[in-house]
Amino acid sequence: MLLWEETLFKDRDLFELDHLPEHFLHREDQMNSLKFCIRPALQGARPVNALCLGPPGTGKTTALFKLFEEIEAHSTKVIPVHVNCQMDSTKYSVFYQIYKKIFDHAPPSSGISFKRIFEKVAQAAADQDKVLMVALDDINYLFHEKEVDHVLYSLLRAHETCPGARMGVIGVMSELALNYVLDPRVVSVFQPEEIIFPLYARSEIRDILSRRVQMGFYPGVMADDVLEAVVDCTERSGDLRVGIDLLKRSGLSAEKRASKSVSLVDVAGSCDRSRLVHLTYALKSLKDDELVVLRLAAEQKSWRAGELFARFHEQNDAGYTRFHEILNKLDSIRLINADFTGAGERGRSRVISVRYEPEEILSRLGP
């Protein structure tokens, strides 16, 4: 029996979703690609712009934090700035964050225009002879009102109004491709290197979670068969964060039972709640028309693709090509199953069903 003051956790921080791991496993190719993009900046030149693409929970944000941590530890020539575009979704708020990073304090709370903030940021980069590297995480939140065009244009053409200013951009999206059509004036200067973050393979999931278990729990707390059950739940969700959350919830469940080890019952009882972590994050990455398709898909047990498109088309003018893109995205981020089955009127037909309980999805989408 576990005494009341005892714990199974050697280091609880390892099971927090915002924990930055010391060893970032199975993303060597992506890290090398990012370092290739940054390298010119370390030599005082403008960096290569990049776009990190892939489903939620595949290491994109962690890769950025690891990269920026390394830059700040080894170089004084680059100012790395991470902007969460979910929180800062206008050009003013993006440059507000950049200003805070450069000057180590916020700009005046009132009476200062975007133009003035931009000028001060660009001039500081030029005067300090430093390269500004801006990561726009969840860049799709800037697509509304074409804010992304204003932000990218300001950053990547800053040298035209402020000679000596050198800036680069790393965009991050939970998408498989950039479907947004950028302003032609931005396209000519952005031209990003695309870096793909695929879903982790089962062996990679096991390797990463096994390391967390070894470092985060005391010896003997989690047996191999129990870890395999955690891996099963994580693989089904396609999101590594589900596994990390499940390790924590399972450990807490075992402690509640005053047990000195985590059991399969602890994992089974916690899996559904941890899977909802993926659902919550995945919904944040969806555009309005994608949310419409998901809501419709959740309204009945299964749909033929043609029937679902007809319902979607009643609410949205988009054509079948866009509908097909939406299905592929919802399938890739593990929100729906979109399997080909049998024969439809024009050949093979897709059958669409949601991967979660419909009420779990509908309750999070709101009225």
- Asked if 35 and 78 sit in the same domain, the reply is yes
Instruction: Classify residue 239 by its DSSP letter.
Output: -
* CATH number, domain containing residue 351: 1.10.10.10
Using CA atoms, how far residue 88 sits from 170, 203, 222, 233, 274, in Å, is 16, 36, 40, 33, 27
pLDDT digits (tens, 9 = 90+) for 227-251: 999 999 999 999 999 999 999 999 9
pLDDT digits (tens, 9 = 90+) for 21-47: 999 999 999 999 999 999 999 999 999
Give the span between the Cα atoms of 334 and 340, in whole angstroms. Answer: 16
On whether residue 5 sits in a domain, the answer given is no
Tokens of 360: 């779990």
Distance, first Cα to last Cα, the chain = 47
- Asked if 215 and 291 sit in the same domain, the reply is no
Is beta strand 166-173 parallel, antiparallel or unpaired with respect to 131-137?
A: parallel
| pLDDT, position 336 | 94
On whether residue 21 sits in a domain, the answer given is no
Helix (H), strand (E) at residue 78: strand 78-84
- Asked if 157 and 302 sit in the same domain, the reply is no
On whether residue 2 sits in a domain, the answer given is no
- Asked if 157 and 178 sit in the same domain, the reply is yes
* CATH number, domain containing residue 221: 1.10.8.60
- Asked if 256 and 359 sit in the same domain, the reply is no
- Residues linked to residue 222 through DSSP beta bridges, in sequence order: 262
- Asked if 35 and 107 sit in the same domain, the reply is yes
Q: Which of 24, 9, 22 is nearest to 222 (CA)?
A: 9
- Asked if 152 and 115 sit in the same domain, the reply is yes
| pLDDT, position 109 | 76
Domain count for the chain, please give it: 3
| pLDDT, position 343 | 52
Last residue of a domain, one of 231, 251, 283: 283
On whether residue 7 sits in a domain, the answer given is no
Q: Which of 58, 72, 49, 54 is nearest to 24 (CA)?
A: 58
- Long-range interactions of 91-94: CB distance < 8 A, separation 24+: 91/147, 91/150, 91/151, 91/154, 92/117, 94/134, 94/136, 94/142, 94/151
Helix (H), strand (E) at residue 167: strand 166-173
| Sequential DSSP letters for 312-355 | HHHH----HHHHHHHHHHHHHTTSEEEEEEEEETTEEEEEEEES
On whether residue 3 sits in a domain, the answer given is no
| pLDDT, position 151 | 98
Tokens of 204: 């990679």
* CATH number, domain containing residue 59: 3.40.50.300
| pLDDT, position 4 | 65
CB 327 within 8 A of CB 305: yes
Using CA atoms, how far residue 276 sits from 18, 50, 122, 215, in Å, is 17, 30, 42, 25
- Asked if 267 and 296 sit in the same domain, the reply is no
On whether residue 96 sits in a domain, the answer given is yes
Per the rule left: phi > 0, alpha: psi between -120 and 50, beta: everything else, 314 is alpha
pLDDT digits (tens, 9 = 90+) for 191-228: 999 999 999 999 999 999 999 999 999 999 999 999 99
Last residue of a domain, one of 283, 307, 325: 283
Domain that holds residue 338: 287-365
% pLDDT > 90, the chain: 82
- Asked if 89 and 148 sit in the same domain, the reply is yes
User: What's the whole-number average pLDDT of the chain?
Assistant: 93
- Asked if 358 and 237 sit in the same domain, the reply is no
Per-residue pLDDT of the chain (367 residues; tens, 9 = 90+): 677 678 999 999 999 999 999 999 999 999 999 999 999 999 999 999 999 999 989 999 999 999 999 999 999 999 999 999 988 999 999 999 999 999 999 998 777 899 999 999 999 999 999 999 999 999 988 988 899 999 999 999 999 999 999 999 999 998 888 888 999 999 999 999 999 999 999 999 999 999 999 999 999 999 999 999 999 999 999 999 999 999 999 999 999 999 999 999 999 999 999 999 989 888 988 889 999 999 999 999 999 999 999 999 999 988 999 999 899 889 888 899 988 765 554 556 789 999 999 999 999 998 7
Last residue of a domain, one of 163, 178, 196: 196
- Owner of token pair 């005046």: 108
- Asked if 306 and 277 sit in the same domain, the reply is no
- Asked if 97 and 147 sit in the same domain, the reply is yes
